Structure 1
Amino acid sequence: MLEKRRYGAGLPTYPFLAACLTAAVCLFLWRLSSCPVPQATRLVAPSYLLLLPGNASSLPPPYPMHKLGPGDRTTLIDVKDFAFQLNNFPCNGSSSLLLLVLVHSAPGNVEKRRTIRETWGRGPHRVLFLLGAVESPAMQAALEEENRVHRDLVQGRFLDSYRNMTYKHVMALKWTAYYCPGARYLLKTDDDVFVNSPALLDFLAQDLSPWGARRLILCEPFSFAYVKRSYRSKWRVSPLEYPGRMYPAYCAGWAVLYSPDVVFLLYREAQRTKYFWIDDVHVTGTLAARANLTQTSLGSLVLSREQVQFLVGPRDNGSEIGSFLFGSPNLSLSDIHRLWQLVQERRPAS
């Protein structure tokens, strides 16, 4: 289960054996309330705050929109004529929506969107698919028809391409701030990820807080990552694009859970920071650091690819499904359907 506290750093420089004995004895005595806790074992406060009835109404609103510039609505980073070409409004001013899910999707991924609608996208949460602009009139017409049927597409005025993913991520933050400020949590994810949505809703309401949180970025973090300079790498970044040798701590972008105040802080930073095309690094790393935010690890709440393959294998392994929240990325449609079937089979009848 998610750890909500961290241990401090800075071990004393005693000889190793003496330090171990001292720490063990003192910790034992501390448990009996007769010895102070050494700095190396003292618990520190978590980097996020859970809202409870006692503090939920005392905090300022998470979206102080007056702090944004007058042209903010029609600006997306350096796109000065931004608009939503397709838009929907499922929140309808609700102040009680527990979870909003915004899914990065490519225009041609029709079957992936259909699979999500048929599986984990169903429920009391709201799911929208984020797209960029397309150059084909036929493709645009197909997207407009899909949206007419399902009312769940959000399309921004920037070309949908791999190096434009940061626009899509920041568009998710922008859309949430303008059109769904009442959501207690925002999940940004991809269309090849499995979300155990019933377990996630339970987790938010019971392990976190149904009133929401502040300063929360919950994800799979990378603490040390070198900038790739090789021309053979898909993620090659030139020194001109990013002069540093290492990226700041950032999240794997396929599943990131934000509290609403973090949505606003990251969005405001994005609107005044130079564009960088690797959205995971830029939004959850560089912008988070500028806003003095830190990441909290999902830990064992994510299934590895090996665990997914074990569960969807030919034998009945559903009894091992546990209380995970996310399957690993790059899943096949059949894997997503099978995981959803297992979740439904193992979930107690309401």
Structure 2
Amino acid sequence: MLENLRIYVFVSAPCTRRFAIALILTICYSIWFNGENTDMSLPSSGNIVASNYLVLLPGDNTTQSLPREPYRLSELPSDDSSTLIDIKGFKFLMNHYPCNNTQPLILILIHSAPGNFVRRKTLRETWAQRSPLVSLLFFIGTSEKFQDRLEDENSKYKDLIQGNFVDVYRNMTYKHVMALKWTTYHCPNAKYILKLDDDVFVHVSAMVEFLTHDLTLLRNQRLILCDVSLSSPVKRTWRSKWRVSYLEYPGRYYPAYCLGWAILYTPDSVLLLYREAQREPYFWIDDIHITGIIAHKLNLTLISLHSLVLTTKKMTDMLSNSRIGGGFLFGPPDMSEDRMRALHSFLSTTRTVINLD
């Protein structure tokens, strides 16, 4: 396999050292893991071929023609717009088109539960504000209990996307694929797509800096950047919230996948994942299904952003001592509203140096 593998990485002068090292280590681990682990059986069959990358060193004027789009909307089945995996007659009950034929640097898709009004309000009042570079939406399913309040909220903020499936935990994969569907149909020109949970803090200015200067992906393809989970065993015990039966998933281990709280996609990855998710049988753990099983089948590359996540200890130190800086893209997972406001206030009133080296 190695003699047929071309490993290419874009490396520019200001490229993040930790990111470049993580990229190379991830690719090397992927080569070893796919070749050595035979227990990682998947529901889908197919040969795994290593992804190709091109190393462009500073001063290298090498140019390559971009591959064509992964597919065109006209190539999808005629009933695709009204189908969501196995739901026939799917439709958006609430819908907006914030891209308006523009090309935002980043489209942020925030998964939220219908009843999380306080969380959404907190995000809108802190980091989650639209700009010419950033388009942002919240994705929800239906809720009989909260529907009237949701319609009032949407009338005020115009940032809710609602699909006609019940918003319960086992339907999370519908929500994830709905977000990919919305991007495919309504904002295909976004340069990057960021999927988030609604308890995540994003350092937006650092993210913009990272995407425009530190991360040179304009000619890279088929990438997913996230906090990667490797060699996770399938939970079989009835006591586990994550129990999966042999019928649902026969393998002992899941393929490498993204922890679902923050996932950064290149647009071609979104298109490919969406098309394949529409064909695959439903599996309820969405991050494993989309960024693990399907991404593995499509041979998409997962790159770790773990080193750019702020730890709880580092955040506590920063909030107690304004002289402590450091670069990060995301706050710790599962942040409370109070901590989110505190971190936003700190970044708004303190001149922190965005240094991702």
TM-score range, shorter chain: 0.7 to 0.9
* 1:202 maps onto 2:209 in alignment: yes
* Residue of 329, 339, 346 corresponding to 2:343: 339
CA radius of gyration, larger in: 1
Distance in 1, Cα, partners of 2:55 & 2:182: 23
Alignment check: 8 A CA contact 1:87 1:153 kept = yes
Moved more, 230-239 or 149-158: 230-239
* 1:181 maps onto 2:198 in alignment: no
- TM-score under structure 1 normalisation? 0.82
Aligned residues: 310
Distance in 1, Cα, partners of 2:62 & 2:335: 42
1:46 offset after TM fit, Å?
4.7
Amino acid aligned to 1:91: C
1:93 offset after TM fit, Å?
1.0
- TM-score under structure 2 normalisation? 0.81
Alignment check: 8 A CA contact 1:184 1:212 kept = no
Q: After superposition, what is the alpha-carbon deviation per residue over 1:243-286, rounded to whole angstroms, capped at 9, x for unaligned? A: 11110100000000000000011001100000000001000000
Matches within 5 A, 1:236-247: 236-247=243-254
Distance in 2, Cα, partners of 1:256 & 1:337: 22
Q: After superposition, what is the alpha-carbon deviation per residue over 1:302-331, rounded to whole angstroms, capped at 9, x for unaligned? A: 01233233334xx3x233231100012111
CA 1:47–1:327 in structure 2 vs 1: closer, same or farther (change >3 Å)?
farther
CA 1:212–1:204 in structure 2 vs 1: closer, same or farther (change >3 Å)?
farther
Distance in 1, Cα, partners of 2:175 & 2:342: 29
SS in 2 for 1:253: strand
% identity of equivalent residues: 49
Alignment check: 8 A CA contact 2:19 2:305 kept = yes
Counterpart for residue 19 of structure 2: 2
SS in 1 for 2:107: strand
Matches within 5 A, 1:238-257: 238-257=245-264
Larger RCO, structure (CA 8 Å, separation 6 or more)? 2
Distance in 2, Cα, partners of 1:326 & 1:254: 10
Counterpart for residue 82 of structure 2: 74
SS in 1 for 2:100: coil
Amino acid aligned to 1:61: E
Distance in 1, Cα, partners of 2:148 & 2:345: 33
* Residue of 166, 172, 192 corresponding to 1:159: 166
CA 1:53–1:60 in structure 2 vs 1: closer, same or farther (change >3 Å)?
farther
CA 1:121–1:243 in structure 2 vs 1: closer, same or farther (change >3 Å)?
same
Alignment check: 8 A CA contact 1:6 1:45 kept = no
Moved more, 61-70 or 193-202: 61-70
- Over aligned residues, Cα RMSD in angstroms? 2.7
1:62 offset after TM fit, Å?
5.0
Alignment check: 8 A CA contact 1:48 1:214 kept = no
Alignment check: 8 A CA contact 1:184 1:210 kept = no
1:56 offset after TM fit, Å?
8.2
* Residue of 290, 294, 299 corresponding to 1:283: 290
* Residue of 130, 137, 153 corresponding to 1:128: 137
* 1:228 maps onto 2:248 in alignment: no
CA 1:318–1:277 in structure 2 vs 1: closer, same or farther (change >3 Å)?
farther
Alignment check: 8 A CA contact 2:258 2:292 kept = yes
Amino acid aligned to 2:173: T
SS in 2 for 1:108: coil
Counterpart for residue 39 of structure 1: none
